[in-house]
């Protein structure tokens, strides 16, 4: 069964410092990996997906199949990055997402 | 429109009551999903519709849970004989076309169900 692990429930980082939110997965096939974000009093929304290889709001994530990881990184944290972040996995050919338990990121001014 | 709309926003039920949760997806969206999010957890998949067809209901925790989307638009998640463990936020999400590389999933604000 596929599984997504986010080992940190809480992460506090000073403004301007680098951010890394960890995500590991277990899956035997070719997964699609996503990061979703939920800002305070807002809906869950897509931040980025590994297929797009894009940088959104300064965040990037690289899929490392050898380490089965998809860590989210940003070189310089901003206060508006404070939010709940969820890593998610989708099996190719299947539509459902499997989410991790989430990491609450707090940026300290 | 305004995005995926869910109602009610909050629902308090006594144990044993039946509840019905509504989801109004973005107009024209083919795919519709229901997720359950318990406190401190990530969303967990319940069921998936493509238009009116329920293609995957593997996540429904028991036969007390039933979902429908009869006209391929609005969906209702019904929970019969609610139990305390059903307390959670129920999220609905929709997307335009399944299986596309640039497909984007849009979530509603959720219905917070509390079973007393």
Q: What are phi and psi of A80, to 5 degrees?
A: -70, -5
CA of A4 vs chain B CAs: smallest distance (Å): 10
Residue A105: its H or E element: strand A103-108
Average pLDDT, chain B: 94
pLDDT of residue B100: 62
Structure tokens that stand for A77 in this block: 């944290």
Q: Which residues of B touch A (CB under 8 A)?
A: 3-4, 31, 33, 35, 40-45, 48, 50, 55-56, 58-59, 91, 93, 98-99, 101-102, 104-110
| A27 confidence band (pLDDT: 50, 70, 90) | confident
CA torsion, ordered A105, A53, A5, A41, to nearest 10 deg: 40
User: Percentage of chain B surpassing pLDDT 90?
Assistant: 90
Residues of A in Cβ contact (< 8 Å) with B33: 95-97
Best of B42, B44, B106 to substitute, by most chain A Cβ atoms within 10 angstroms, is: B42
Give the lowest-confidence range in A26-35, A94-103, B28-37, B42-51.
Answer: A26-35
Looking at residues A81-90, what average pLDDT do you find? 96
Check pLDDT > 90 for residue B104.
no
Average pLDDT, chain A: 93
Check pLDDT > 70 for residue B84.
yes
pLDDT of residue A91: 81
Query: Cβ-count burial of A11 within 10 angstroms (0-12 exposed, 13-18 middle, 19+ buried)?
Result: middle
User: Percentage of chain A surpassing pLDDT 70?
Assistant: 100
Residues of B in Cβ contact (< 8 Å) with A44: 43, 91, 93, 107
Nearest by CB to B42, from A45, A93, A102: name it. Answer: A102
Looking at residues A69-82, what average pLDDT do you find? 96
Give strand pairing partners of B89: B37, B112
CA of B14 vs chain A CAs: smallest distance (Å): 27
């Amino acid at each position: 069964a596929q599984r997504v692990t986010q080992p940190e429930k809480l992460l506090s980082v000073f403004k301007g410092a680098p951010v890394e939110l960890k995500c590991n997965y277990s899956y035997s096939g070719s997964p699609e990996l996503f990061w979703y974000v939920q800002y305070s009093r807002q809906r869950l929304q897509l931040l980025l997906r590994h297929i797009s290889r894009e940088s959104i709001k300064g965040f990037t994530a690289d899929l490392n199949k050898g380490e089965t990881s998809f860590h989210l990184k940003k070189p310089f944290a901003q206060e508006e990055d404070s939010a709940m972040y969820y890593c998610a996995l989708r099996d190719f050919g299947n539509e459902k997402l499997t989410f991790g338990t989430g990491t609450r990121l707090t940026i300290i001014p | 429109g305004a995005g995926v709309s869910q109602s009610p926003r909050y629902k308090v039920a006594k144990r044993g009551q039946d509840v019905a949760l509504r989801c109004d997806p973005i107009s024209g969206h083919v795919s519709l999903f229901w997720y359950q999010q318990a406190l401190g957890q990530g969303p967990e998949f319940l069921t998936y519709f493509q238009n009116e067809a329920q293609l995957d209901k593997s996540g429904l925790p028991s036969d007390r849970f039933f979902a429908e989307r009869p006209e391929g638009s609005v969906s209702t998640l019904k929970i019969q004989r609610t139990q305390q463990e059903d307390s959670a936020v129920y999220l609905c999400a929709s997307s335009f076309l399944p299986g596309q590389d640039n497909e984007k999933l849009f979530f509603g604000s959720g219905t917070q169900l509390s079973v007393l």
